[in-house]
Amino acid sequence: MSQPSLRRRLVSGLAVLGIYFAVVLLLPRPATVKPEGWRLLGIFAATIAGLILQPIPGGALVLMAVTLSSMFGGLTILQALGGYGDPTVWLVMGAFFISTAMIKTGFARRLALVFVRAVGQTSLGIAYALSLTDMVLASIIPSSGARSGGVVLPILRSIAELYGSRPGQTAALLGTFLITAVYQNICVTAAMFLTGQASNPLAAKIAADTFHYSMTPAGWMLAGLAPGLCSLALVPLLIYRLHPPEIRHTPEASSFAATQLREMGRMDRGQLIVLCVFLVVCGLWISSPWHNLDISVPALLGACALLATGILSWDDVVSERAAWDIFIWYGGLVRLGKALSDAGVTTAFAQGVAALFSSAGWVLLFVCALVIYFYTHYAFASITAHILAMYTPFAAVLLAKGAPPGLVLFGFACFTNLAAGLTNYGTTPSPMFFATGYVSFPQWWKIGFLASLVNLAIWSTVGFAWWKLLGMW
């Protein structure tokens, strides 16, 4: 990604600074919030704006916000840095290290090829195979960018080129369909698991700290199962009907996968160890109600096992730039979000907005809020920024109106991931897929909007009914 120009960075930086002063000096401060709490809100709002405008990298911006919160936001430096010791942050780190091992050993690629060999005889089957690959990997790899960029996208492009489908005149043969169908399903798998996207644990942390509602890996997986599988099945089918590939039958893809698997040979020691670690970690997450280990412990145990067996080297760990980048911004934002809640800002906001909608019941308010929340993602280039800007206040308003916590908190968390399918910049994998050149800008946005209608329909009917059956609301 190219660096923004100096002029753009200066303009963005001034806009971020302007937002801080606008919050602190122009917005009326509720009597229940102390001046330092209001300054903390200004720092937080400016940080969210900075994550969108990117005058400097997000990690650097959050580190600055953490430092300034200890000077102007009423926190001590020990309190400001407290997010970096939060177990949820280390859950993400442990999962990232396990994902590094899965890609390094070739286990993730083997998994994708097995699915393609099994159901890749048609173009629709290839889309399903790659989507199922991403679904399985999403249960342990918290980076949709790592899953799709490191595993799914290279295999997708190889298959498209196998049939002579390349960006330009031959894109419609196969590549356009595969790019759009698989990308839309990547957004679905991100919504299905706590580890499906790096921001999901952040939503879970906010739910626990602010609203005292627990989201476990097993509970999230169960909640996402029924609506997720429906979306994974129907969204590619919709795209297949509206924009069918010119090549429908793809027996060579299955043969290609079989050839690649033969060349890989049997699973070696590294892949077998990774498989065992994967199964043990998932098993410990599922059985957490019985052993009561914090959800971060299995992920860290898995990473330790991979280090002890030599599958991961310490160089692999320290060179995992994406993980350490997330550690900086995620840990900082976790702490800032909790500090805002402790300062009474969230409560004051909920009370103010609830007063404006005093005559509306929670059902009508929930429907309106969900649609508004979903389509405001057109303004976001980050799921994290979307959650930080809107998750807490929207949830607070609805819970103050008496809406069921499970329905609201899981609903907004899952729908944030689904909304990333709207644009070619909605989350990390979107520019990666768009940059292949197989899909035009109008095509991408049209398909994204149509897929959003299907996902909204599925998750608000099948999903909500399934959650009711599970006793979540």
Stated length of the chain: 473
Name the 3-class secondary structure at 122.
Answer: strand
**What pLDDT, on the 0 to 100 scale, is given for residue 353?**
64
Q: How far is CA 264 from CA 117, 261, 433, in A?
A: 14, 5, 26
**What pLDDT, on the 0 to 100 scale, is given for residue 1?**
47
Q: Which of 244, 136, 140 is nearest to 185 (CA)?
A: 136
| Class of residue 322 by CB neighbours under 10 A (exposed 0-12, middle 13-18, buried 19+) | middle
**What pLDDT, on the 0 to 100 scale, is given for residue 188?**
97
Tell me if 281 sits within 8 A of 298, measured CB to CB.
Answer: yes
**What pLDDT, on the 0 to 100 scale, is given for residue 190?**
94
Q: Which of 38, 68, 34 is nearest to 50 (CA)?
A: 68
Query: Alpha-carbon distance 317 to 307, whole Å?
Result: 9
Entry pTM: 0.74
User: Per residue of the chain (473 residues), what is the pLDDT tens digit?
Assistant: 456 688 888 999 999 999 999 999 999 998 888 999 999 999 988 988 887 788 988 889 989 999 999 999 999 999 999 989 888 788 778 877 887 888 889 888 888 888 888 888 899 999 999 999 999 988 887 777 778 776 788 888 888 888 889 888 899 999 999 999 999 999 999 999 998 988 899 899 999 988 999 999 989 999 999 999 999 999 999 999 988 999 999 888 888 889 989 999 999 999 999 999 988 987 887 787 688 788 788 889 999 999 999 999 999 999 988 788 878 887 888 788 778 878 888 777 766 766 676 677 899 889 988 998 899 888 676 788 788 878 988 898 899 889 999 999 999 999 999 999 998 878 878 877 887 889 988 899 999 999 999 999 999 999 999 999 999 99
**What pLDDT, on the 0 to 100 scale, is given for residue 323?**
82
Output phi, psi for 249, to 5 deg.
-105, 130
